[in-house]
């Protein structure tokens, strides 16, 4: 799940600390874990971010297990990643998928109730 930090994390007023939430973009099909309108995503979500090799390292808010981040840092993808495993089955079987935790943005009233982790707690 690739998310814009200005919309999908909570920065406290006193600090620049990032708290990850389970809030997903309205364009995310939670069951398939894919964008519902990938080709036209920038029309539907003006805050959608396009990751490129050139800008990848500027997004320090990406989770440490994010494939884009791992590849950008020259690291190997985890065994369950679909590009390694050959399908999403291993990811879903291990319940690593956002399918099991994501909540559509339009359904969220209080973002603080959706904080799931702090990045410094993830190895």
Per-residue pLDDT tens digits for 82-92: 999 999 998 88
Burial per residue of 100-114, b for 16 or more beta-carbon CB atoms within 10 angstroms, e otherwise: ebbeebeeeeeeeeb
In tens, the pLDDT along 91-122 reads 889 888 889 989 999 999 998 898 886 544 44
Please name every residue paired with 10 in a beta bridge, in sequence order, or none if there are none.
19
Model pLDDT for residues 55-91, shown as the tens digit of each residue: 888 888 888 888 888 988 899 999 999 999 999 998 8
In this predicted model, what pLDDT tens digit does every residue of 13-67 receive, in sequence order? 566 677 788 999 999 999 999 999 999 999 999 889 998 888 888 888 888 888 8
- Domain coordinates in residue numbering, the chain: 5-121
**Pairwise CA distance, residues 83 & 114, whole Å:** 29
Query: CA-based diameter of the chain, in Å?
Result: 44
Q: What percent of the chain has pLDDT over 70?
A: 81
pLDDT of residue 120: 47
């Amino acid at each position: 799940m690739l998310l814009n930090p200005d919309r999908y994390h909570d920065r406290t007023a006193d600090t620049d600390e990032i708290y990850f939430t389970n809030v997903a973009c309205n364009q995310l099909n939670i069951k398939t874990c894919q964008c519902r309108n990938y080709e036209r995503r920038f029309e539907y979500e003006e805050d959608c971010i396009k990751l490129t090799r050139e800008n990848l390292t500027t997004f320090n808010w990406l989770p440490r297990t994010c494939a884009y981040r791992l590849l950008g840092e020259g690291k190997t993808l985890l065994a369950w990643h679909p590009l390694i495993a050959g399908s999403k089955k291993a990811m879903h079987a291990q319940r690593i998928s956002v399918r099991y935790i994501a909540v559509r943005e339009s359904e969220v009233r209080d973002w603080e109730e959706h904080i799931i982790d702090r990045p410094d707690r993830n190895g």
